[in-house]
Structure formats: structure tokens, C-alpha cells
Amino acid sequence: MEEVRNRLIVALDVATMAEVRQLVEELGDAVSYYKVGMQLFYGVGMECLDYLRQQGKDVFLDLKMHDIPNTVAQGAASLTRLGAAMINVQASGGTAMMRAAAETVAETARKYNLPRPRLIAVTVLTSMDENEWATLRNAASIPDQVVHLAQMAKEAGLDGVVASPQEAKLIREACGREFAIVTPGVRPRGAALNDQSRVATPADALKAGAHYLVVGRPITAAKDPRAAALAILEEMRNAE
């Protein structure tokens, strides 16, 4: 299993490069992996990826693609060329879409002699609780749907899924040890939930089988982001 430091992904949900630079400098060598999402990528584009690469950091480019198979596959090909370590699609786009993306990512990496990014699928957003889930009129429960989408993603050739730590154990049982489970919805004991619903502590997420923990505001909005990250890393180490 990878070193704990490489399993904490800090979500850079900020709007400007000035904020990125400040956080990355403050966090220093404590953090080696960052998540770049819609706010930052749509706002500043490649500048954030170039900067993080210069700093020697890995990047999860979290754009959650969702469209017809050809469109997502071509989007995934373009993202593969950007050099992120991990990219993602929405599992609810279906098996054909996920398979097309997986094939195109592998082909593009081969063609341009690039490392193949991990391709993972978002299952059910961690902000969703049972009440909101009911409004979508899905017949399955949240855990059943998450496991079903994870099995579809595995069958389509993806490397893993994004899910709540609350479903990590079920996914691990259904999809095996090699299938990556990336969990947002991580909150140290006593931290504000913000808009998250299906949450767990860093220790509980790891014990349930999460491979990577995605943590944003508990670190980035902390008075001392480095101290907050170090406390989470310590909790992760003790949970192993």
C-alpha cells in the first residue's frame, strides 16, 4: 500500500492562482496530491496544472464528464494529454460511455508515450442524503446503487470509483482490493459538514477500505491549513 502522504488528496476549490500558490506553499511537503475541480480549471485553465507539475505534485482533474460515449471518449483523450494522474466520468453515463473512455485513455497514452491517468467514475455524490435521493425516484437504495455503479465501472475497464466512505466496505467486497476507492465526504471529528451528507472521519474511511481520501474545506478553510493536513495525516497513519 502507498505511503499515507500520497493517499491524501487536497481539493483546491479556489478561484485564483494566487490562492493556489498560497495554499500549496503553506502545505509544502505535507501534501503531494491535489484535486483540481470545475471552479479552478474553468477559471484559470492549464495554468494550475502547469504550476502543480512544476511543484512536483500529482493532480486529480475532477471534471466529472457526462455525455454520449464519443464525446466523453474524446474529452478523456484531451484530458489524458494534459498529464493529470487521475481523471473521471459520471458512472451514470453508462457502460458504453465508460468503456469508450477507458479505451481512448489507454490508446492516447500509448500514442503519445504518456503515463496513463487513472480513470475513475463518480457513483452517487456524497452530498446526497436519503431525502434528496428519494426525489430522484431511483428504485435502489444509495448503497445498492453505489455498488451497482462500481461494478459497472469495473466491468467497463475503469480503475476505480468516487464514493462516500460509508460505501467503501461494500465496494471493496464487491470489486476487490485492486479497484481504487476515492472518498470525498471526509470530516475529522467535530469538523463542519458544510454541504456533505454521507461522511466519515479519515480513520474510519481508511478502515472501511478507501484508498484515497479527498479533503477540501477542513484543510483549505482552516486557520492553519498545514496543521490541519498534518493532523489528518497523523490520524490516517494511526488507522493503518
Ligand X SMILES: O=c1ccn([C@@H]2O[C@H](COP(=O)(O)O)[C@@H](O)[C@H]2O)c(=O)[nH]1
Residues that bind ligand X (CB under 6 A): 11, 13, 35, 37, 122, 125-126, 162, 184-185, 194, 196, 214-218
Q: Which residue is nearest to ligand X (CB)?
A: 216
- Under 8 Å CB-to-CB from 150, ≥6 apart: which residues? 91, 121, 123, 161, 163, 171, 174, 175, 179
Comparison of 91 and 101: residue with beta carbon closer to ligand X: 91
CA distance 89 to 186: 21
Task: Please name the amino acid found at residue 181.
Answer: I
Nearest to 22 by CA among 1, 60, 49, 51: 51
Q: Cβ of residue 91: shortest distance to ligand X, in angstroms?
A: 11
CA distance 40 to 15: 5
Q: Cβ of residue 177: shortest distance to ligand X, in angstroms?
A: 22
Q: Which residues are catalytic?
A: 64
Helices within the chain (DSSP H only):
17-27, 38-44, 46-54, 69-80, 95-111, 130-135, 142-155, 168-175, 202-207, 217-220, 225-239
Comparison of 108 and 197: residue with beta carbon closer to ligand X: 197
DSSP structural state of residue 139: S
Q: Cβ of residue 107: shortest distance to ligand X, in angstroms?
A: 27
Q: Cβ of residue 34: shortest distance to ligand X, in angstroms?
A: 11
Comparison of 117 and 184: residue with beta carbon closer to ligand X: 184
Comparison of 126 and 201: residue with beta carbon closer to ligand X: 126
